[in-house]
Structure 1
Amino acid sequence: MALGLGHADEEARAEVEVLNSRLEKTRQLNKKIQASLNRLETNGKSMQEAIGPIYQNTKRLQALGNNLEEVLAAIERMRQPSDVKSNEEAIIKKGPARAGLSAFLSSVKRVNVALIELKRTNLRSNQATVADLQRLVTSGSVQLESYYETILKDNVRPVETLHYITHNKPFPVLDQNKTTRLGLITSHLAWSARQVGYTGELPVLQIYASARGPYLVSTLQILASASVNTARKKEQTTPYRSGTNGITSYAMAIEYAFLAEYDNICSLFQRDEWGRVFNLTCQGAMAELRSTLKDLDSHIKSNLNTDCYLAYEIIQVISGLSANIESRTGELKDSFAKALKLIKDTGKQSLGELLEDTRRRVLSLQVIPPDGGLPVTSDAMIRLQTMVEFLPPISSIMISLGDGGWKSAPPSSNSNEQIPSLASFDVTADGKQIFAHYCIDTIDNLLSSLQQKGKSLIKGGNGALGVFIMNNVTVVDRMIRNSELQPLLASRMADVDKWRKTGASLYTGAWREPSAFLLDVQYTNRTARPQSGSAASIDSVAVVKALSNKEKEAIKEKFKGFNTSFEALIKRHKELVMDREVREGLSKQVQQMLEPLYCRFWDRYHEIDKGKGKYVKYNKTEISGVFIDLNNAAPRSI
Structure 2
Amino acid sequence: MAVGLTTSGTSASLGQRHAAEEEARAEVDVLSSRLEKTSQLTKKIEACLNRLDATGKSVHEVAGPLSSETKRLQTLGNNIESVIAAIERLRQPAENKNEEEQIIRVGPEKAGLPKYLSSVQRLERSLNEMRASNIRSTQQTIGDLHRLIMSANAQLEGYFDQLLRAETPRDIEPLHFVTKNKPFPSLSQDTTSRLGLINAHLTSSLRNGVQGSASASMVSVGSSGQESPVARIYADIRGPYLASTLKNLATASVNTTKKKTVEAIYRAGTNGFGMYAHSMQGMFITEYENICSIFTRDDWAPVFQGACQSTLNELARTLRELNSHIKTYPQTDCYLAYEVVEIVSSLSNQLETRTGELKSALAALLKPVRDTAKLSLGELLEDTKRRVAALPSLPVDGSPTPIVAETMQRLQTMVEFLRPISSIMISLGDGGWRAGAAPRGGTGASDAIPSLASYDVSADGREIFAHYCTDTLDALLSALDARARATQGRKPIAGVFLANSIAIVERMIRDSGLAPLLESRQASVLEPWRKKATVLYTDTCKDVSMHLLDVIHTNRGPGGGGGGGSSGGRPTSGHNGVDSASILRGLSSKDKENIKSKFTAFNASFDEMVAKHRAYYMEREVRQAFARDIQQMLEPLYNRFWDRYHDVDKGKGKYVKYDKASISAVFSSLY
| TM-score (norm. length: structure 2) | 0.79
| Greater mean alpha carbon deviation, residues 120-129 or residues 107-116 | 120-129
* Matches for 1:529-608 after TM superposition, within 5 Å: 530-533=569-572, 535-547=575-587, 551-608=591-648
CA distance in 1, matches of 2:607, 2:259: 55
CA distance in 2, matches of 1:168, 1:333: 24
1:621 maps to 2:671 = no
CA separation of 1:603/1:66 partners in 2, compared to 1, >3 Å: closer, same or farther? same
CA separation of 1:226/1:521 partners in 2, compared to 1, >3 Å: closer, same or farther? same
Q: Which residue of 1 aligns with 2:18?
A: none
**How many residue pairs get matched?**
588
- The one-letter code matched in structure 2 to 1:103 is K
1:391 maps to 2:391 = no
Q: Deviation per CA, 1:209-249, whole angstroms, max 9, x where unpaired?
A: 22211111111111111111122133333222222211111
1:467 maps to 2:479 = no
- The one-letter code matched in structure 2 to 1:630 is L
Q: 1:249 aligns with which of 275, 286, 298?
A: 275
Answer whether contact 1:530 1:543 (CA < 8 A) is retained: no
Q: Deviation per CA, 1:127-163, whole angstroms, max 9, x where unpaired?
A: 3222222222222222222221222122522322111
CA distance in 2, matches of 1:504, 1:154: 79
1:120 maps to 2:159 = no
| Greater mean alpha carbon deviation, residues 188-197 or residues 508-517 | 188-197
SS at match of 1:365: coil
* Matches for 1:45-56 after TM superposition, within 5 Å: none
CA separation of 1:187/1:526 partners in 2, compared to 1, >3 Å: closer, same or farther? farther
Q: 1:502 aligns with which of 512, 532, 538?
A: 532
| Greater mean alpha carbon deviation, residues 607-616 or residues 570-579 | 607-616
Q: Which residue of 2 aligns with 1:224?
A: 250
CA distance in 1, matches of 2:191, 2:83: 48
Q: Which residue of 1 aligns with 2:197?
A: 184
1:174 maps to 2:214 = no
- The one-letter code matched in structure 1 to 2:101 is E
Q: Residue 479 of structure 1: CA displacement?
A: 1.6
CA distance in 1, matches of 2:74, 2:567: 160
Q: Which residue of 2 aligns with 1:258?
A: 284
- The one-letter code matched in structure 1 to 2:480 is L
CA separation of 1:68/1:319 partners in 2, compared to 1, >3 Å: closer, same or farther? closer
CA separation of 1:560/1:256 partners in 2, compared to 1, >3 Å: closer, same or farther? same
| Greater mean alpha carbon deviation, residues 440-449 or residues 511-520 | 440-449
CA separation of 1:557/1:187 partners in 2, compared to 1, >3 Å: closer, same or farther? same
- The one-letter code matched in structure 2 to 1:513 is D
Which structure would you say has the larger Rg?
2
**Aligned residues: percent identity?**
51
Answer whether contact 2:404 2:476 (CA < 8 A) is retained: yes
Answer whether contact 2:548 2:602 (CA < 8 A) is retained: yes
CA distance in 2, matches of 1:75, 1:203: 34
Q: Residue 339 of structure 1: CA displacement?
A: 1.4
Q: Residue 607 of structure 1: CA displacement?
A: 4.1
Q: Which residue of 1 aligns with 2:32?
A: none
CA separation of 1:192/1:610 partners in 2, compared to 1, >3 Å: closer, same or farther? same
Q: Which residue of 2 aligns with 1:72?
A: 84
CA separation of 1:111/1:613 partners in 2, compared to 1, >3 Å: closer, same or farther? same
Answer whether contact 2:326 2:336 (CA < 8 A) is retained: yes
| Greater mean alpha carbon deviation, residues 82-91 or residues 251-260 | 82-91
CA separation of 1:65/1:434 partners in 2, compared to 1, >3 Å: closer, same or farther? closer
Q: Which residue of 2 aligns with 1:82?
A: 94
Q: Residue 314 of structure 1: CA displacement?
A: 1.3
- The one-letter code matched in structure 2 to 1:503 is A
CA distance in 2, matches of 1:85, 1:514: 121
Query: What do you get for the CA RMSD once the two structures are aligned?
Result: 3.5
Answer whether contact 2:123 2:149 (CA < 8 A) is retained: yes
CA separation of 1:363/1:406 partners in 2, compared to 1, >3 Å: closer, same or farther? same
Answer whether contact 1:240 1:310 (CA < 8 A) is retained: yes
Q: 1:135 aligns with which of 133, 136, 147?
A: 147
- The one-letter code matched in structure 1 to 2:407 is A
Q: Which residue of 2 aligns with 1:446?
A: 476
Q: Deviation per CA, 1:271-312, whole angstroms, max 9, x where unpaired?
A: 222122111211111111111111111122222222222222
Q: Residue 392 of structure 1: CA displacement?
A: 0.7
- The one-letter code matched in structure 2 to 1:532 is P
Answer whether contact 2:447 2:454 (CA < 8 A) is retained: no
Q: Residue 554 of structure 1: CA displacement?
A: 4.1
Answer whether contact 1:108 1:140 (CA < 8 A) is retained: yes
Q: Which has the higher helix share?
A: 1
* Matches for 1:195-594 after TM superposition, within 5 Å: 195-196=208-209, 199-366=225-392, 368-369=394-395, 370=397, 372-408=399-435, 418-455=448-485, 462-494=491-523, 495-521=525-551, 530-533=569-572, 535-547=575-587, 551-594=591-634
SS at match of 1:403: coil
- The one-letter code matched in structure 2 to 1:195 is N
SS at match of 1:405: coil
Q: Residue 506 of structure 1: CA displacement?
A: 1.0
CA distance in 2, matches of 1:136, 1:75: 21
Answer whether contact 2:256 2:272 (CA < 8 A) is retained: yes
SS at match of 1:511: helix
| Greater mean alpha carbon deviation, residues 179-188 or residues 525-534 | 525-534
CA distance in 2, matches of 1:316, 1:95: 51
CA distance in 2, matches of 1:449, 1:67: 104
Answer whether contact 2:547 2:602 (CA < 8 A) is retained: yes
Answer whether contact 1:325 1:331 (CA < 8 A) is retained: yes
| Greater mean alpha carbon deviation, residues 557-566 or residues 327-336 | 557-566
- The one-letter code matched in structure 2 to 1:443 is L
CA separation of 1:429/1:479 partners in 2, compared to 1, >3 Å: closer, same or farther? same
CA distance in 2, matches of 1:503, 1:576: 14
SS at match of 1:174: coil
CA distance in 1, matches of 2:650, 2:73: 166
CA distance in 2, matches of 1:578, 1:71: 113
- The one-letter code matched in structure 1 to 2:105 is K
Unaligned runs of 5+ in 2: 1-37, 212-224, 438-444, 555-563
Q: Which runs of 4+ in 1 moved over 6 A?
A: 55-65, 522-528
CA separation of 1:193/1:553 partners in 2, compared to 1, >3 Å: closer, same or farther? same
Q: Residue 98 of structure 1: CA displacement?
A: 3.8
CA distance in 1, matches of 2:582, 2:423: 75
